[in-house]
Amino acid sequence: MFLVEDALGSKVGLILRCWALFISSLLAAFLIDWRMALLLSPVAPFATLSMSYMGKLVSRAAAENSRLTERSGAILQESVLNVRTVQSCNGQSTMVRRYGEALQRGRWPAVMEHVWTGLFEGLFIFVLYVCSAAGV
């Protein structure tokens, strides 16, 4: 029960904080220069949707990366804890090969995590600059 309360409490606080930041920023923008704020207002839904989709893609890639990294960590821990057995049976090369293969499998999700982050942040900045240029 406490885990549910902790998880729900942090999510509700985060959502409230984000909405308060959005509304206060929008209000400040309209008070400073209402024409530029009116022109940039269509960017907000695009930014919200794109960052939400980016979060889903990044979290999926991060979960896969974490699972694969955990597997390589288990191989490393096994070889360190059983160092005498590995050494006496000449299993160093086998353990190094298994560890390298496990790390290699985790490389692609890690790369994709950063690709999605860079792509969506770049797209967001591009749209923001295009709307700003249209206002100037």
Q: Which residue has the higher pLDDT, 117 or 14?
A: 117
Pick the closest to residue 47 from 26, 77, 72 (CA basis): 26
Residue 24 and residue 60 in one domain: no
Which range marks the domain in which residue 87 is found?
33-135
Give the pLDDT score at 119.
Answer: 87
Q: What is the pLDDT of residues 28-83, one digit of tens each?
A: 888 988 887 887 777 778 777 877 888 788 888 888 888 878 887 787 777 777 76
Domain identity same for 11 and 60: no
Q: Are residues 50 and 107 in the same domain?
A: yes
Q: What is the pLDDT of residue 9?
A: 60
Residue type at position 47: A
